[in-house]
Amino acid sequence: MVSTWLTELRKYIVYFGVAVFTAAGVSQAQQPPAPLQSAPAAADDLKARVEAQQKEIDELKTMIRAGQIKTASAEAADPAKPVDEKEVKKILDTYLKEKDEKKKKDDADKAEKANEEGYKVGTDLKMSTRWNPLAGVTFETPNKDFTAHIGYRFQLDNVYWTQNDNLRRSAPAGIGDLQDGAFFRRSRPSFDGTAWEVVEFNAELALEQVQDSVPNFDELYVGVTKLPFIGSVRVGHIKTPQGFEGDVSSSSKAMTFLERAAYTDAFYENFATGIWASNNYLDQRVTWEAAVYRQDNQRTNSAADFGDGSYGYTGRATALPLYECEGRHLLHLGVSGTFRDNEVSDTPPGAGIVGGRVADFRARPEMRDGIGDFGNSLAGTTTVLPGNVKRLVDTGTFNSTSTSIVGTELFYVLGPFSLQTEYAWTRANNSFTRLANGNDGKSLGDPVFSGGYIELSYFLTGENRTYDKRLGRLGSTYIASPFTPFFGVRGEDGHLAFGTGAWEIAARYSHLDLNSGALRGGKEDGVTLGVNWYLNTNLKMQFDYLHNDRFDLAPGAFTGNVDGFGIRTQFFF
C-alpha cells in the first residue's frame, strides 16, 4: 500500500517539476537572452536537481512509515467522525471570547499607560464629527479637550379651550376669551461645548420671543470647571438655582407636562444675568449651587436690567441618599432659598400709580394660550401678538422692598415609576400701599404666599426618567432613549413591522395661594393628565388635558374654571 502511494507521489512531483521548468522557460523567453551553458554544465545542473528531488522522496517515505502522514487508505480504513456542531461552536466561542478579552486587556493597558504618561491638553487637535443620538451633530478632538455641538429644538403647540362665561369678561372680573390656536412655544438654536478641557459654554437663542427688536435668550454663558473647592463657575444669562421642574433647573425638553405648575410660574424667575457656581461631593451624592444676579427687567429674558440695587441671591442644596441600578432606583431631596431686591417701578408715583420698589405675584392657566408675555398686554387694551396671556390669579402690583423664597423638592424613581413633588413659601418683605402723593401709606406687613404640586408618572414600555448627578437635577433629555424606537415599515417578507417607541402616562395636582392679609390675589387649583409618546431620542409627542379652578378672590373678580386640551410636537438635536 505504501509503495502505491510512493508511486503516486512520485508522479505528482514529476508533474510539479515539469510545470516549474515550463514556467521558468516562459519567463526566460521574455527576458534578454542569457549566455548559453556548455553541455557538461547543463548535465551537472540537471543531475543536482534530480538528486534533490530524490532526497525529498526519501524523506516522505520515512515520514509515511513513521505514521506522520496519513494515507488515503488509512483514512478510508478509519473514516473521520461526524463533525460535532456544538463542539465546534464551543471552540469558536472560546476563541472569540479569548480574543475579545485580550483586546480589552490591551486597550486597558494602553489607556493605563497613556494615563501614567499624561497628556498635554491641546496637542492633538484633529477634530472628528459624529451624530450623537442625544445631542445631534457633535465635533470633538480625540481626547475630548475640545468639543462643540450645534443644536436646535422647537415645540409646536395646538391648544383647545372651554371656560365659564364669567371668565370671558375683561380683567380683573375675568381673564378674557381663551381661544383655540397654534403657536411655536419655543424655537431655539443652540451652540455649546467645551474648550481646553475645563472651559464650558452655551449659547441658546429664544427666537419665539423678540421684544423691541431685541432677541430673548435661554442660557448664554461661559464657565470654568474642575476648580478646586469651588467646582464650576459660569458667567452670563444663567438658570437660577431653584426648583426642580424641567423648565426651571434643567431644560424645557425635560418636562412631563406642557407647562410648569402654577406656583413655579408665580414665584420663580428661571433665568437671570449674573454669576453662578456649583460643586458636588461623595460621588456626586451631594451638590450645591449659588448665584448672584441682576433681575431681568419685568421678567423678560433679554439679559438686560438697569436700576440701582436690584440684585438677587439664590442658593440650592441637594442630596441623593438612594441611587441604584444606574439611576433606575433613586431618591432626590432638595432645598433652595432666594432673597432678591424687588425692582423699581418704571412709572413714577402718582394718583392711582405705584412707584418705588414693587412686587407682583401671578400665575396663568397651566397651559399657554400665547407666547410668553407677548399676547394681549397685561392691561388688556393693546394686542401685540395673537393669544391671551392673562393670569388666573394675581395679587396686582404693590410696594415691597424685597422678596424671600424657600423651596423644597422630592423626586423618587423606581424603574418606570416616578413621584415628584415641590412646595414653596414666598414672603414679600416690608410691604405697604402708596398714597396718591407718593408717600408711604398703609403697611401690609410681610405677606406670605405658598404653593406646590405633586405628580406621578409611569412608563408603560418600561423606560425610566434620567437624572443629572453632577448638578442634582433632571436629565436634560428626560429619558435616555426608548427601548424600541418607533418605526412602521414593510419587511423583506412583505409583512408590516412596527416599533412602539416609549409611552408614559402622568398626572399632576397643583395648588397656589396668593391670599395674605389685605392682599387678595386668589387661589388656583389644577389637575393635569398627560400621555407622552417618545418616538425616539429626538422626537416626542405630548397630549395634555387640563382643568384649572380659581376661587377665593378679591371683590369684583369672578370665580370659575377653564378646561384645555393641548398637543405638543417636540423635536430637538
pTM, full prediction: 0.77
What grid cell was written down for 123?
A: 496637542
Range 128-572 classified under CATH 3.30.230.10 = no
CA 241 to chain centre: 18
What grid cell was written down for 9?
A: 507521489
Tell which phi-psi region holds residue 230, choosing left (phi > 0), alpha (psi between -120 and 50) or beta. alpha
Q: What is the pLDDT along the chain (573 residues), one digit of tens a residue?
A: 444 444 554 554 444 444 444 444 434 444 444 444 455 555 676 667 767 766 766 766 666 666 555 555 545 555 555 656 777 777 777 877 888 888 888 888 877 776 667 778 888 889 999 988 777 889 999 888 999 999 999 999 999 999 999 999 998 899 999 999 999 999 999 999 999 999 999 999 998 877 666 778 899 999 999 999 999 999 999 999 999 998 888 899 989 999 999 999 999 988 999 999 999 999 999 999 999 999 765 556 777 777 777 899 999 999 999 999 999 999 999 999 999 999 887 665 554 455 688 999 999 999 999 876 654 444 343 445 678 888 999 999 999 999 999 999 999 999 999 999 999 999 999 999 876 556 667 889 999 999 999 999 999 999 999 999 999 999 988 888 899 999 999 888 888 999 999 999 999 999 999 999 999 999 999 999 999 999 999 999 999 999 999 999 999 999 999 999 999 999 999
Residue ranges covered by each domain of the chain: 2-31+40-74, 128-572
The answer to whether residues 322 and 329 touch, using CB atoms and an 8 Å cutoff, is yes
Q: Report the relative pairing of strands 560-572 and 147-163 from DSSP bridges.
A: antiparallel
Phi, psi of 73 (to 5 degrees): -65, -40
SS (H, E, C) 478-534: EECCCCCCCEEEECCCCCEEEECCEEEEEEEEEEEEEEECCEEEEEEEEEEEEEEEE
Degrees (nearest 5) of the Cα angle 69, 73, 77? 110
Predicted local distance difference test score (pLDDT) of residue 124: 86
Residues 6+ apart with CB under 8 A from 248: 239, 242, 260, 264, 268, 270
Predicted local distance difference test score (pLDDT) of residue 26: 39
By CB atoms closer than 10 A (0-12, 13-18, 19+), residue 522 is buried
Cβ-based neighbour number of residue 527 at 10 Å: 15
Q: If you write DSSP's letter for every residue of 401-447 in order, what string do you get?
A: EEEEEEEEEEEEEETTEEEEEEEEEEEEEEEEEE-TTSSEEEEEE--
Residues 6+ apart with CB under 8 A from 122: 145, 146, 196
